Amino acid sequence: MSLEKIAVVGASGYSGEELLRLLIRHPGAELVAVTSRQLAGQTIAQVFPRFAGLRYADLAFIESDVEKIVATGARIVFLALPHGVATEFGRPLVAAGLRVIDLSADFRIKDVAVYQDFYGEAHAAPELAALSVYGMPELYREKIRSASLIASPGCYPTSIILPLHPLLQRGLIQPGSIVVNSLSGVSGAGRNAKVDYLYVECNESLRAYSVPKHRHLAEIEQELSLAAGETVRISFTPHLVPVNRGIHTTICCAPAEGVEAWHITNAYTEAFGREPFIRLLGETGLPDTKHVVFTNFVDIAWRHDPRTGRLVLLSAEDNLTKGAAGQAVQAMNLLAGLPETTGLL
Amino acid sequence: MSLEKIAVVGASGYSGEELLRLLIRHPGAELVAVTSRQLAGQTIAQVFPRFAGLRYADLAFIESDVEKIVATGARIVFLALPHGVATEFGRPLVAAGLRVIDLSADFRIKDVAVYQDFYGEAHAAPELAALSVYGMPELYREKIRSASLIASPGCYPTSIILPLHPLLQRGLIQPGSIVVNSLSGVSGAGRNAKVDYLYVECNESLRAYSVPKHRHLAEIEQELSLAAGETVRISFTPHLVPVNRGIHTTICCAPAEGVEAWHITNAYTEAFGREPFIRLLGETGLPDTKHVVFTNFVDIAWRHDPRTGRLVLLSAEDNLTKGAAGQAVQAMNLLAGLPETTGLL
Amino acid sequence: MSLEKIAVVGASGYSGEELLRLLIRHPGAELVAVTSRQLAGQTIAQVFPRFAGLRYADLAFIESDVEKIVATGARIVFLALPHGVATEFGRPLVAAGLRVIDLSADFRIKDVAVYQDFYGEAHAAPELAALSVYGMPELYREKIRSASLIASPGCYPTSIILPLHPLLQRGLIQPGSIVVNSLSGVSGAGRNAKVDYLYVECNESLRAYSVPKHRHLAEIEQELSLAAGETVRISFTPHLVPVNRGIHTTICCAPAEGVEAWHITNAYTEAFGREPFIRLLGETGLPDTKHVVFTNFVDIAWRHDPRTGRLVLLSAEDNLTKGAAGQAVQAMNLLAGLPETTGLL
Amino acid sequence: MSLEKIAVVGASGYSGEELLRLLIRHPGAELVAVTSRQLAGQTIAQVFPRFAGLRYADLAFIESDVEKIVATGARIVFLALPHGVATEFGRPLVAAGLRVIDLSADFRIKDVAVYQDFYGEAHAAPELAALSVYGMPELYREKIRSASLIASPGCYPTSIILPLHPLLQRGLIQPGSIVVNSLSGVSGAGRNAKVDYLYVECNESLRAYSVPKHRHLAEIEQELSLAAGETVRISFTPHLVPVNRGIHTTICCAPAEGVEAWHITNAYTEAFGREPFIRLLGETGLPDTKHVVFTNFVDIAWRHDPRTGRLVLLSAEDNLTKGAAGQAVQAMNLLAGLPETTGLL
């Protein structure tokens, strides 16, 4: 099997590090470049001691320069950059004929007005946002295969869209009734030296944040609205809790008239029963992030509550794997024509 | 000031230990007995090395025997016993004229049918349940002063009832719209040697449990229904997260017709503005359990979400202090005619 | 490549679970049986939800019965059993011609008097202890290849023997000067439902235990004495600290007359410079367990302290991987004639 | 009782916050000023939400200006400033006749050459270092009572000096044999926004640091040498472990000729048997930081190891309380003529 040549731009954060963890062991990929402004010249092992002794340990970071990246022969490029910076690299790389998988939010929002509302500035590249495919294989598998630009989904969105999509698509729940509460590990805040994310500030601490308007709502509602065929607005409260990795999401919503528990079970089986990275725990199981961390799985369970008539949907994922780098590699496998689970099980 | 003589029955668990922590430093209480079947004969310092060197360190546990407790001259007795056992001690102690503060759920539910529905067995002492006062000073201050039996509230209920009560009482929210998600530290599971609560099973783990019918719903809905003047049913999902202490609660609900954010703010100020243990963080603050652990405070914040029209209410407390032992001591202060904050600030 | 048929006896604990984690992804092994008295009939996915969706997820546990194990065609059997139970299975399995890798302490101690001193009972199978090979490939690679019974090393011993062995063997340090302090994650205590290992008892807790005579001293001193060519007695204090996985070891010792820092560096390079699972961090690096967890690496660093004249040796490993299951799989690779790193990088 | 007027300079870090926690509840102290360059104008409750609702919650930080501090009428001033800054405030405050308790290292080292060796710069105020009293009441109680400048001990030094002092003073151990390993919670690193102390970098991480020459060695060896009557050099390896608070120290050393276990026990009883903040756990107990956090206690245990002939001494303390702010308040009580335990039990 000839290996797909891969570059990673901006691998200094937690998502970039997770990408490296996956690519190092990926049997179908050849990592030809890692780039970073501040790390150029250092090897992967120097920057990430955990990767010493492994494949690519001695690969040195190069400058994040488009020409240099193209010169490496890379065919697929991951962008693991802060919000707002991805456009700068995405445009010339796509123009140069490389296929780009962006882990930031830059290309996820199709409606530039929504983007401006949530991100507080005009969209820098509407034509790329229009071109991009939302990189969730369970929803857009075929489009991903032929895409030139993948907007890889956010961590919260993955944990929220997947449990809701099959139900909204089938009209099984009332779109206006959705209340979402998510818990996230601290790696979700990035490798940023801020007092708020110091060990002592996060350990033995439980707190909500970005109430009531977290930026991820933009892409969540975009995809849920597409599923429902109508505008969906949800309540979403994210919480920061003291684990390194993992997101747990709990969703309350009202079933549509006449919907019973078995309709829900059937919908999930139909939509996800053959998905390699969705594990359906059914009406008795309960997700636990400790069973999904360091994997690309999303675990989903559901309950009907006869007391209130509501449904409770629950999901767990690793925010850095299925919620970021793992899902991006899943998309890469599709782009490269590899079996979708390559390097991910 | 003559000291109030106090006994603690069944102090081997985390709530009992927290009671001792508070009573050791309480300037108005004299601890005359601690009892425990399995610990009888050992001193407080032997059982709880953290209390060595403090007042009462050498007080020895005695058998949990009603006659012996009465013989100590105790006037107020805390019961820190497992569910179902409190009745056995509560009945004779009340009959003997002692005033009893029970930390279990045994006397909290007035409606024996509801009790049976949630606890799976007939209520053992309906007459005591009828007699008891729900020990939440913010709601029942005057009744507590003269009560002979206090049913001290549960940890989740305290964090949920307090933010909702003023709003339901004033008709500011729709009673059928309430969705509650709570996060609890592991001490809430008690000092029980079960694999599920081992360090390795809880650390780096996020999980919901008791979905959709946690027992605490019985007392939560009882008090919310009283506030609303109608039957209230809520959705409630508790989560176990890796902290020792603390509960964070996030509530979504719909305001009543015409209600605006300032109505909510006014209601909280009116209801709780002078409460010594409720800190109102308003429409900009956000509770964090690290600011309330080892205190008797509940922090409450709220938001109106113009996108969905819903309200988000947030609270944080220490499950062992305001959620258990601290609130019980607050009630003890009322029973004893002491300033309510004695030993709690 | 024809796959080596493998069985795992007693896979219900943390080491057994880690063995499964490694074997599921091992390209040269075919897992033909997992056994457990209490889990028989359940599948791997039911017992360990994290393995659902992976290879062998539907393999059911069978009874821990020697005849049944032999009947599966397994050629190599891992014993992941509590201390004292391994002999019961090891003897008949070896007699039946299977090759056995035991993760317990049962066969590690060659001197039955030492065994009795540390384990408090007569050795149940001295002839097997004599036959067994201590399964540390860095020391006994060739013997392991042809062994019929491997006594896989303990977690602390691996972290202690590896940094000391090259120095003692070369006479570079004074054997009587060794003081070892190790920190272990809580998985080292096993999946046992004891109050001492509850989340609340371990979180925010730092404590030494088994002072001054931990059982692992028996095998540590056995191997160090062999290296030194004389009897070595060390001071060893293990500590329980709140992480799930990982051991950090710090060793103080006096160099032999005339030994300088570069002798130490040379000795490590000579002994371990080509070892695939030992990473030498030298005189400037410092091991951190977060860089070795979920890997089979041991990281080793060293310092000469001119103020005291002593050496400080530091190591980090994952107690469940290089300290247990990973090292056992490394031995399996040798037994099976596979490249030693197969399935471990 | 007339209250002692107190100021705290530089209360923005963890030690300053702990000082406030203790002073808020201190019955003999009146806090008249808190100062901070960057926090001036904000109230204590705004800076530290955990103190909202308590005494002094509305006290506003003022500029760290000596004249303003003097103008408040403060008689005792705590300096909770970074290393190197304390001199700037200590000199004029002492000159103005205020009594100063400094929590930094600036005045702890009597020998300016040692200071320069460990801190890399000339001492800025040798005359104040000469004047200062090392603020460990167990060693210098009488001197503290009349001191004008207290150099409050460091966190590691407290945990190391206390177990060793009585033994060195009595000639019971060999001064050249001491090997110390300490584990510290992350609050010891201060409230500094550095990547190394982010939650994700510290959680699930165990690492040594400052090997082999931590700055605290200067004051440790100063005090141990005074106790021994000769120069003492020790090996000391500090470790960073994932807890918020607490230091655990394990010391290995050789007894002097003819010394037996009971000599050690007698020495501790003689030296510390009546100390209010030292709890002697003897030859069977083992310290655990969870029993000392949020207290001013140091727990000490010891063992003789007949196998090696060495002694093992173990201690646990809260690095922010007995290791910093609590010990400083203990000294304040002595300065103010209050019972030494006031506000600390």
Per-residue model confidence (pLDDT) at position B83: 84
Per-residue model confidence (pLDDT) at position C227: 98
- C276/A52 touch (CB, cutoff 8 Å), yes or no: no
* Predicted confidence (pLDDT) at residue A197 exceeds the cutoff of 80: yes
Across D306-324, average pLDDT? 98
**Helices A217-228, A155-169: crossing angle, 10 deg rounding:** 20
Q: DSSP string spanning B140-189? A: HHHHHHT-SEEEPPPHHHHHHHHHHHHHHHTT-B-GGG-EEEEEE-GGGG
For an interface test with D, the pick among B26, B51, B275, B279 (most D C-beta atoms closer than 10 Å) comes out as B279
Q: In B, residues 303-342, which contact A (CB 8 Å cutoff)?
A: 303-305, 307-308, 310, 312, 314, 316
Across B65-81, average pLDDT? 96
* Predicted confidence (pLDDT) at residue D11 exceeds the cutoff of 90: no
Per-residue model confidence (pLDDT) at position A240: 98
Rounded CA gap, B97 and B331, in Å?
17
Across C107-129, average pLDDT? 94
- Using DSSP, state whether D261 is helix, strand or coil: helix
Give yes or no for a contact between A135 and A144, defined as CB atoms under 8 angstroms apart.
yes
For strand A298-304 and strand B298-304, is the pairing parallel, antiparallel, or unpaired?
Answer: unpaired
- Using DSSP, state whether A207 is helix, strand or coil: strand
Q: Is B282 on the interface with D (CB under 8 A)?
A: no
Q: Which helix (H) or strand (E) holds B4?
A: strand B4-9
Rounded CA gap, D117 and B296, in Å?
48
Q: What are phi and psi of D194, to 5 degrees?
A: -120, 145
- D211/C308 touch (CB, cutoff 8 Å), yes or no: no
Note the pLDDT tens digit of each residue in A25-81.
999 999 999 999 999 999 999 999 999 999 999 999 999 999 999 999 999 999 999
| Whether residue C175 has a cis bond before it, omega within 30° of 0 | no
* Predicted confidence (pLDDT) at residue D1 exceeds the cutoff of 60: no
Distance from CA of D205 to the nearest CA of A (A): 11
Q: Is D207 on the interface with A (CB under 8 A)?
A: no
- A200/D242 touch (CB, cutoff 8 Å), yes or no: no
Of D186, D195, D242, which is closest to A193 when you measure between CB atoms?
D195
CA nearest neighbour of C157 among C101, C107, C209, C223:
C223
- B233/A308 touch (CB, cutoff 8 Å), yes or no: yes
Estimate to the nearest angstrom the gap between the alpha carbon of D50 and the chain centroid: 23
Average pLDDT, chain B: 97
Q: Grade residue D83 by pLDDT with cuts at 50, 70 and 90.
A: confident
Per-residue model confidence (pLDDT) at position C84: 85
For strand C311-317 and strand C298-304, is the pairing parallel, antiparallel, or unpaired?
Answer: antiparallel
Of A181, A247, A287, which is closest to B250 when you measure between CB atoms?
A181
Tell me the whole-structure pTM to 2 decimals. 0.98
Rounded CA gap, C302 and C282, in Å?
6
Q: DSSP string spanning A148-189? A: SEEEPPPHHHHHHHHHHHHHHHTT-B-GGG-EEEEEE-GGGG
Handedness of CA B44, B48, B51, B52 (dihedral sign): positive
Average pLDDT, chain C: 97
Type of residue at A102 = D
| Closest residue in chain B to residue A184, using alpha carbons only | B206
The residues of D that are catalytic are 155
Per-residue model confidence (pLDDT) at position A1: 56
Per-residue model confidence (pLDDT) at position B23: 98
CA nearest neighbour of D210 among D240, D187, D176, D186:
D240
Count of beta carbons in the 10 Å neighbourhood of residue A259: 19
Q: Quick one: what percent of chain B has pLDDT higher than 90?
A: 97
- A54/C345 touch (CB, cutoff 8 Å), yes or no: yes
* Predicted confidence (pLDDT) at residue B12 exceeds the cutoff of 80: yes
D chain contacts of residue B52, beta-carbon cutoff 8 Å: 279, 291, 297
* Side-chain half-sphere CA neighbours of C53 within 13 A: 22
Note the pLDDT tens digit of each residue in C290-299.
999 999 999 9
* Predicted confidence (pLDDT) at residue C264 exceeds the cutoff of 80: yes
Q: Grade residue A82 by pLDDT with cuts at 50, 70 and 90.
A: confident
Asked whether this complex has an ipTM greater than 0.95, the answer is yes
Count of beta carbons in the 10 Å neighbourhood of residue D59: 17
Distance from CA of B186 to the nearest CA of A (A): 11
Note the pLDDT tens digit of each residue in B104-140.
999 999 999 999 999 999 999 999 999 999 999 999 9
Of D235, D246, D310, which is closest to C310 when you measure between CB atoms?
D235
Average pLDDT, chain D: 97
* Predicted confidence (pLDDT) at residue C155 exceeds the cutoff of 70: yes
Across D57-86, average pLDDT? 95
Q: How many CB pairs under 8 A join B and C?
A: 60
Q: Is B231 on the interface with A (CB under 8 A)?
A: no
Owner of token pair 């101690």: C109
Per-residue model confidence (pLDDT) at position A83: 84
Note the pLDDT tens digit of each residue in D152-172.
999 999 999 999 999 999 999
Per-residue model confidence (pLDDT) at position C1: 56
Q: Quick one: what percent of chain C has pLDDT higher than 90?
A: 97
* Predicted confidence (pLDDT) at residue D213 exceeds the cutoff of 90: yes
Q: What is the DSSP letter of B244?
A: S
Give yes or no for a contact between B223 and B133, defined as CB atoms under 8 angstroms apart.
no
Continuous H helices in chain C: 14-24, 44-47, 66-71, 86-95, 112-119, 126-131, 137-145, 155-169, 199-202, 217-228, 261-272, 326-335
Per-residue model confidence (pLDDT) at position D84: 85
Per-residue model confidence (pLDDT) at position B1: 56
Give yes or no for a contact between C281 and C287, defined as CB atoms under 8 angstroms apart.
yes
Rounded CA gap, B62 and C101, in Å?
52
Q: DSSP string spanning C59-75? A: PBPB---HHHHHHTT-S
Neighbours of chain B (3+ CB pairs under 8 A): A, C, D
Give yes or no for a contact between B287 and A207, defined as CB atoms under 8 angstroms apart.
yes
